[in-house]
Amino acid sequence: MRTLFQKLKQRPLLRWFLLLVVFTVSTLLGSILYWRYHRLDSFPDVGEPFDVAAYRAQYDGVAENPFDQIRKASAELRKFQGQPKYRMVTPMVWVPWEKRRIVEREYIVETDPALDLWLSVSEASKGYEVHPREYNSSSLLQVSQDSREFSRLVFARIGRRMEEGKKAEVLQLQNQFLNLNQQFRGNSLISELCAISCFLIYCQDVLPFVLQQESINIDDLQQLQQQLREYHASCPPLSENMKTEYMMLENERAARIAKNSMMSVITREDEASRRMLNLIYQNWMKHCDLPAWERPPYLQKMFTTYSQESFLKMGVQRHQLGMYQSDSNKIILQAYSNLSYTQTLFGEMLPTIQQMTVATDRDLSRRELAITVVALHIYYREQGSFPESLDALVPEYLDAVPRNRDVFNGQPNQVGTPIDYQLEEGVVKLRPVERFLQLDLYPPGEDPRLQKPKDK
């Protein structure tokens, strides 16, 4: 060591060079440590948007999960769906039994045991298809997808029982469908969309047919309206589906961090991405459940992400970050810009909250309209005609007149206003702003769309 110092004294250039190297390395390490420490300043720690630990543990220790039975029913159903002769069979809702194709009748009869198994858990408590601890991007949620086929089979059975004059069983089947539809709500966005699509078919094809039957009396309609009210009240808000999506992204984020552990140690990306996830979901969950007429405007910002994977595939990856207008928008955008490699994960897996808000708004309006339609038929059977306005239904037949919700339909000035009601020649025309929800209501037995063709 002494010899080395003696040589450095004799070689001033080398001595200065080594000092420069030491200074440069020290400055670089100090800059990295300073940056690493202060990088998190742009990611405010707002805490979890909900009690994540409680949400993870909500199904721990559950002895009986109704989805175990539903999963068995789905497995039985897929045995028949996999048969070549049934691959193109889709049961139509209101085709009379004698008018159905032979292969369709065979399919309905052979799948009856699977449908009975599916219906057997209609009174069960709330269950789960995938546990929140295990939910990830690979969860295909096949059982939720099968719920649409089971719903069609239920509707076909309702039509057949109506033909047979078994009115009590028709009302029971509708109640069982509503209860099972409830099982798929509040679990994930995929399950929620499946439940929404099934209820859409019910409102378009089943409910109008039942209401047109003159054998359905006031007591039956009041029972049906009560079922729809209870169903509507028990449907979870959008924020419940957001929780599952949060858990999915959190699980994927933890896996990505573990895969890049060395990079995370240097950049503190684990803590930065955790705070970013909480920032985004706090904004979403604070506003998504508000009525459309109270909800703040929706904003979108385009981001371009550069990563090794995206560069090899397409050069860059572009995605949008959506949020509701609030005081935290600038903070969210700045923080999102400062993300490192996890920005690619966020771009790939963040749900499109705008589309889900639209779907939820339409579903809310559709549920209210279903209750309103039944109330109109109760009024008709009591008074002999439809009312001149929806106000005549409040409060005896209806709690309140439905209001327009769709803020993305090009008429934001009408959001929150009562839906348009017209009575022309005894036919009710309900005209919400959203054209997909508009419908015509005929007196019992007079709907031309449901009239049986006369025999020649």
Report the share of the chain in percent with pLDDT over 70.
Answer: 88
Tokens standing for residue 298: 């929706």
Last residue of a domain, one of 324, 351, 378: 351
Span 181-186, mean pLDDT? Answer: 92
Distance CA 107, CA 86 (A): 7
Q: How confident is the model at residue 455 (pLDDT cuts 50, 70, 90)?
A: very low
Q: Which residues contact 442 (CB under 8 A, 6 or more apart)?
A: 212, 426, 427, 428, 448
Identify the pLDDT of residue 453.
Answer: 45
Digit-coded pLDDT (tens) for 328-381: 999 999 999 888 888 888 888 888 888 888 899 999 999 999 999 999 999 999
Residue 315 has pLDDT above 60, yes or no: no
Identify the pLDDT of residue 430.
Answer: 96
Span 209-227, mean pLDDT? Answer: 94
91: region left, alpha or beta (phi > 0 left; psi from -120 to 50 alpha): beta
Closest CA to 174 of 144, 199, 194: 199
Q: Which residues contact 7 (CB under 8 A, 6 or more apart)?
A: 14
Is 295 within the bounds of a domain?
yes
Among 55-64, 143-152, 355-364, 419-428, which stretch is predicted with the lowest mean pLDDT? Answer: 55-64
Q: What values do phi and psi take at 39, rounded to 5?
A: -60, -35
Q: Are 277 and 321 in contact (CB under 8 A)?
A: no
Identify the pLDDT of residue 130.
Answer: 84
Span 298-327, mean pLDDT? Answer: 74
Is 246 within the bounds of a domain?
yes
Distance CA 385, CA 382 (A): 8
Digit-coded pLDDT (tens) for 220-274: 999 999 999 999 999 999 999 899 889 989 988 998 898 888 877 778 889 999 9
Helix (H) or strand (E) holding 323: strand 317-324
Q: Are 248 and 136 in contact (CB under 8 A)?
A: yes
Residue 327 has pLDDT above 80, yes or no: yes
Is 379 within the bounds of a domain?
no
Among 136-145, 156-165, 267-276, which stretch is predicted with the lowest mean pLDDT? Answer: 136-145
Digit-coded pLDDT (tens) for 5-32: 566 566 676 666 767 777 787 777 666 5
Is 8 within the bounds of a domain?
yes
Identify the pLDDT of residue 87.
Answer: 84
pTM of the model: 0.87
Mean pLDDT of the chain: 87
Q: Are 261 and 25 in contact (CB under 8 A)?
A: no
Q: Which residues contact 66 (CB under 8 A, 6 or more apart)?
A: 121, 124, 125, 126, 127, 183
Identify the pLDDT of residue 188.
Answer: 82
Q: How many helices (H) and strands (E) does the chain have?
A: 18, 5
Most confident of 40-49, 61-70, 120-129, 416-425: 416-425
Identify the pLDDT of residue 372.
Answer: 97
Q: Are 418 and 388 in contact (CB under 8 A)?
A: no
SS3 (DSSP) at 439: strand
Last residue of a domain, one of 334, 351, 368: 351
Among 101-110, 251-260, 380-389, which stretch is predicted with the lowest mean pLDDT? Answer: 251-260
Residue 309 has pLDDT above 90, yes or no: no
Q: Are 268 and 39 in contact (CB under 8 A)?
A: yes
Residue 449 has pLDDT above 90, yes or no: no
**Count of domains for the chain:** 2
Domain encompassing residue 25: 2-42
Is 369 within the bounds of a domain?
no
Is 253 within the bounds of a domain?
yes
Q: How many other β-carbons are positioned within 10 Å of the β-carbon of residue 48?
A: 15
Identify the pLDDT of residue 129.
Answer: 86
Is 197 within the bounds of a domain?
no
Residue 289 has pLDDT above 70, yes or no: yes
Last residue of a domain, one of 351, 375, 398: 351
Identify the pLDDT of residue 438.
Answer: 93
Among 95-109, 203-217, 439-453, which stretch is predicted with the lowest mean pLDDT? Answer: 439-453
Is 187 within the bounds of a domain?
no
